[in-house]
Amino acid sequence: MFGKSIGFAKGAMILVALVTLLRFGVEAGGGPAGFTRFISATVVILAAPLYLGFKAGRGGLDTYGELALASFLFGLWGGITIAFVTFAAGAIHVQTHYLSQGEMATLSGTVKHAATHRVRDLKVNR
């Protein structure tokens, strides 16, 4: 069940990772905020479960449990990628929308902010 669900969500998981890394790279490289705000992992994270549901309707999964697990794993992966780039922004001291100057000032502030993404996701997914 786990392997089938993760295989089913693999494309969406790759997409959210690429979008997150792309936005981080463009922001770290000094890209204009008016452009970077359109590169949004949040949009992918909100739209992908709908895509997965439509895709499941065409076949590929046997149970709703497999679909629920695929959607959960996708959402978890999306949060992990955002936490990763949040931590990376602080570790290399690059200003992006992922982390404020105050949070970036200390390692504990960076870790706390990155961990908050995971804790919040776990509370929402319960």
Provide the residue ranges of all domains of the chain, joining segments of one domain with +: 2-124
Please tell me the predicted confidence (pLDDT) of residue 85: 86
pLDDT tens column, 24-49: 889 888 888 888 888 888 788 888 88
SS3 for the chain, per residue? Answer: CHHHHHHHHHHHHHHHHHHHHHHHHHHHCCCCHHHHCCCCHHHHHHHHHHHHHHHHHCCCCCCHHHHHHHHHHHHHHHHHHHHHHHHHHHHCCCCECCECHHHHCCHHHHHHHHHHHHHHHHHHCC
More confident residue, 53 or 101: 53
pTM: predicted TM-score of the whole model, two decimal places: 0.75
Please tell me the predicted confidence (pLDDT) of residue 126: 46
Average pLDDT of 63-87? Answer: 87
Please tell me the predicted confidence (pLDDT) of residue 52: 86
